[in-house]
Amino acid sequence: MGPAIFDKAADSVWQFAGDWQDACADLIKLVEQLKAGQQDAATVQRYSFVTFHQSYGYEEFVEGLRPVLNGDAEAGEVEYEIRPGVFKELCRKARQAPDQRFAMVIDEINRGYISKIFGELITLIEPDKRDPLDGSKPPIELTLAYSGEKFSVPANVDIIGTMNTADRSLALLDTALRRRFDFVPLLPDTRAVKDVDEPHSAPLAGLVVSTSAGAIDVRLMLERINERIEALYDRDHCIGHAYLTALTGVDDGEARFEKMAGIFRHRIVPLLEEYFFEDWRKIRLVLGDNQKPEAAQFITGSEAHEQDLSDLFGNDHGLDCYATKRRYQAQPSAFANPAAYLGIYQSWA
């Protein structure tokens, strides 16, 4: 039996009794810490980051039941308790610091089942439904499904969702969510000069790869590739500058050239194959192969000849070489040829 902390006087007034200060030392320390508040503001993480996917749900985002072991773990006795999700926990922190801004960052927001994840938050996240945190009653408070608590979203919480507009699942984005967000496009940045007000602007400005055939201007090369993609496909499928920003961390010269060659071989060219459904003619146009000498072409093509058809099908094939498709193949040596990259944005005499 624990020590008595409270005692009731003859006049029915409750008061502390005995050595209550010693018995409640831990509780007193906690109360003093809460009164003092957070001492080091730099240690407070004012954002949360999640990635939506098909099985992500309300329980992870808002609140839900979580299994916990009761007593001996070997006995396997499992109980369930209600625990806050990542967004509810962020809102709790935001209420404790109304003069600070907090952010909920959601990557791949268009991949989640929005109505299942947000639930009643679809209404609460609207700007005019937020709790102003000025002591007045929130415009709307809703009762959470599991805990039964009254809940509203603080006005100092920003929700930032990211998505790839080239992703076909974009068409499935919930209409209710669409009208609650402002859409800001983030296009490939191939500007030649940095903006003084944007420290991360023009990430490829001045980035070159020095080779024996000349300096490859990475910014111009990506700009020309994207101009051709936009003409042949659309703007949403332009290649982002992030594919090539890794080159800034590599010493200029052979090491940087090998890094760029690997990016083209393993990332950019396969991406173009997916974009154009292996329409090699268009891929060649994007890479400028139709304007380069054969040794500098990433993708080469050849017409069928009677001898080729005979080698493939025998003598009595009955095929017309002019009716067969042109054959294309990647040329591995071109990825190690600086002229292949220079030819993307430079014209050959």
| Domains detected in the chain | 46-178 (3.40.50), 208-345 (no CATH)
Average pLDDT for 207-230: 96
**CB–CB of 146/63 below 8 Å?**
yes
pLDDT of residue 319: 65
Alpha carbon distances (Å) from 95 to 49, 56, 85: 19, 26, 16
Query: What's the rounded Cα separation, in Å, for the pair 34 and 125?
Result: 29
Q: Which residues are CB-neighbours of 298 under 8 A, at least 6 positions away?
A: 264, 269, 284, 287, 289, 330, 331, 334, 335, 340
Instruction: Specify the pLDDT at position 37.
Output: 60
Residues 66-81 have pLDDT tens digits of 887 776 656 667 788 8
CA 253-259-260 angle, 5° bins: 90
- Residue the block writes with tokens 């990635």: 51
Which segments within the chain are labelled E, that is strand? 6-8, 14-16, 47-51, 63-69, 78-84, 102-107, 142-143, 150-151, 157-161, 208-211, 214-217, 299-302, 327-330
Rg, the chain, Cα only: 31
Tokens of 271: 């991406």
Q: What pLDDT score was predicted for residue 1? A: 46
Q: How confident is the model at residue 56 (pLDDT cuts 50, 70, 90)?
A: very high
Of the candidate ranges 41-55, 135-149, 256-270, the one whose mean pLDDT is the lowest = 41-55
Q: What pLDDT, on a 0 to 100 scale, did the predictor assign at position 140?
A: 92
Q: What is the mean pLDDT of residues 157-162?
A: 95
Give me 298's structure tokens: 């990433």
Cα torsion at 48, 54, 55, 59 (round to 10°)?
50
Mean of pLDDT over the chain: 86
Confidence at residue 349, expressed as pLDDT on a 0 to 100 scale: 57
Show contacts of 209-216: CB within 8 Å, 24+ apart. Answer: 209/247, 209/252, 209/256, 209/257, 209/260, 209/338, 209/341, 210/252, 210/253, 210/256, 210/257, 211/257, 211/338, 212/338, 213/338, 213/339, 213/342, 214/338, 214/342, 216/257, 216/260, 216/338, 216/341, 216/342
pLDDT at residue 192 in the model: 93
Report whether pLDDT(146) > 60: yes
As a whole number of angstroms, the distance between CA 291 and CA 299 comes to 12
Give pLDDT tens digits for 278-305: 789 999 999 999 999 999 999 998 765 5
SS3 6: strand
Q: How far out from the chain centre does Cα 187 lie? A: 14
pLDDT value of residue 46: 92
Per-residue model confidence as pLDDT tens digits over 227-259: 999 999 999 899 999 999 999 999 999 999 999
Residue 318 pLDDT more than 70? no
Q: What mean pLDDT is predicted for residues 137-153?
A: 92
Q: Which amino acid is at 320?
A: D
Which of 4, 8, 34, 2 is closest to 20 using CA atoms? 4
pLDDT confidence band for 347 (50 / 70 / 90):
confident
